[in-house]
Structure 1
Amino acid sequence: MKQDSDLRNNLKSIRTRLGMSQQDLANIASVTRQTISGVESGLYAPSVAITLRLAKALGCQVEDLFWLERDLPEIEAVLAKPVPNDQQLRVSVARVGGQWIAYPLIGKDAFRQDMIPADGEGTSQIGTNKVRVRLLDDNLDTLHNTIVIAGCAPVISLWARATERWHPQLRVQYNFANSMAALHSLCRGEAHIAGMHLYDPETGEYNTPFVRDVLAGREAVLITLGVWEEGLLLKPGNPMGIRTVTDLVAGGATIVNREIGSGSRMLLEQTLQKEQIPFDAVQGFDNVLKSHQDVAQAVGLGIADAGMSTASVATAFGLGFIPLHQSRYDLVILKEYLEEAPVQQLLSTLGHRMVHSQFEILGGYDISKIGEVVAAV
């Protein structure tokens, strides 16, 4: 049969994974080696009979071997962050507020510990913030049932995995962002939920003043995920005998800091101001890292003597910890998203015992008020 330009196949990769040569497969499927070569190169579209014999010989489904390129849908999506013009992109996709949002999988955004699978590929359009995405799967239900959370709390991923276990039709996409970046992402329509832990010393309130300021009149609710201990991560055994931020300066300790907009940096600055210590008196104050994990690794590897993070992160990395403050970590959700079924299903799992157990064994979390609405703005 002549070539079909829309027909794609996975024959070579499956064959080589099984350790078969073209001749081995040809013998098992009762075809010629030239037939195998022609199919793999896309120069030959096999008959139904040959297709079935190939699938049987490889122990897989026909759909695993062959598909039609034109069957994959395309959508237009808004890019969640700027990218160079005319750049080919791997993206993940979600439906937020009635429009498709594409999240470029570039650099650290492409990884957690393993690489994140893409939902599609596309090329950024010159002069716009949009991208035409060719999806890699025709199952749009998954994308419609994707909930996007922007935040920096490592426990969000635990909550997400537990939720997907109870609601297999849901997918939770966790985009790492500091508190202010997460809030702005929510405001721009790039996330359903923003996680944050910012303290306002003027009002004595957590998060709410910042939400009112950034959302500027849009209605939202704040739901507590938990209260966590924040403080100084130290080398195991605390060899410098650090007990306060004053000790950091007195002992000539070197720190790593977090970026502007993060709750950890804001707490460090507020603590230094309270102790009347100039920022530039702290060695390493301008050495900025962008996650709790990066701070912990820097301290653990001896790159720095201390850094600001949480008790649970200290425990996970086997580090010393000096508590300085308890911060409430809230989930901020626009009211327009609250009635969406996927969001309701996700929030309902905050009361599940397994979620509580995961948080409790981490240490440093008070989840006595988990799931409570603490403010409406």
Structure 2
Amino acid sequence: MSEEIMNTKAVAKYLGIHEKQVYALIKSKRIPSTRVTGKWIFPKKLIDEWIESNAQKGLGQVREKSKRIEGALLASGSNDPILDMVHTYMKESYPEFYIFSANTGSTDGLKALNKGYTDIAWSHLLEPRTGEYNIPFLPTYLPDVQPVVVNLFYRDLGFIVASKNP
């Protein structure tokens, strides 16, 4: 079978779900599919578009919910553990202020900011040739936005071992 056309087993594997769940999605008409000679087939391109569309709808729904809470912001992007410390600090210091965060990865966070789906994009993208973070990626991922960049952290990451440990 062509890599561009998938059967139910291939879609299940691609989505990381059980094949029975694929049939449930077909039955509820929630996944793009067609039947050819009794077999369900799925164009990979349509599945990819379906995934992206559902992800955008999810961010849109969170955005609508966050509008209901005055002073709430929606953030998406990196899931750097230190951001939990920022959330905790904000919650303790400013209990009336909310940040809802979706862990989408740095690149998708920037794309969501460009499309207006989010207020803040958490990002830590490294340009390996220059060693510079984030700035080189702004023209690519934020062509429609003039962002304000705030560098929250500079750090070296390492590890510690007991003395005389090779």
TM-score range, shorter chain: 0.5 to 0.7
RMSD: 3.4
The aligned amino acid for 1:148 is L
The residue that corresponds to 2:62 in the other structure is 103
Note if contact 2:114-2:143 (Cα within 8 Å) is conserved in structure 1.
Answer: no
- Residue 162 of structure 1 deviates from its aligned partner by 1.7
The residue that corresponds to 2:73 in the other structure is 147
The aligned amino acid for 2:53 is P
The aligned amino acid for 1:103 is V
- Pair 1:166 & 2:93 matched: yes
Unaligned runs of 5+ in 2: 1-51
Distance 1:205 1:83 in 2: 33
Per residue, is there more strand in 1 or in 2? 1
Normalised to the residue count of structure 1, the TM-score between the two structures is 0.25
Match 2:109 to one of 176, 179, 182: 182
User: 1:152-301 alignment to 2 at 5 Å?
Assistant: 152-216=79-143, 218-230=145-157
Distance 2:132 2:54 in 1: 37
- Residue 207 of structure 1 deviates from its aligned partner by 0.9
Unaligned runs of 5+ in 1: 1-80, 85-90, 94-100, 105-118, 121-138, 242-377
User: 1:94-133 alignment to 2 at 5 Å?
Assistant: 101-103=60-62
Distance 1:182 1:228 in 2: 22
Note if contact 1:156-1:174 (Cα within 8 Å) is conserved in structure 2.
Answer: no
In our comparison, the structure showing a higher alpha carbon Rg is: 1
Distance 1:229 1:149 in 2: 25
Task: Tell me the matched-pair count.
Answer: 108
Match 1:82 to one of 47, 50, 53: 53
Normalised to the residue count of structure 2, the TM-score between the two structures is 0.52
User: Relative to 1, partners in 2 of residues 1:188 and 1:161: Cα closer, same or farther, differing over 3 Å?
Assistant: same
Distance 1:201 1:193 in 2: 24
Sequence identity percentage: 21
Q: Secondary structure at the match of 1:219?
A: coil
Note if contact 1:182-1:194 (Cα within 8 Å) is conserved in structure 2.
Answer: yes
Give the ranges of 4+ consecutive aligned residues of structure 1 lying more than 6 Å apart after TM superposition.
Answer: none
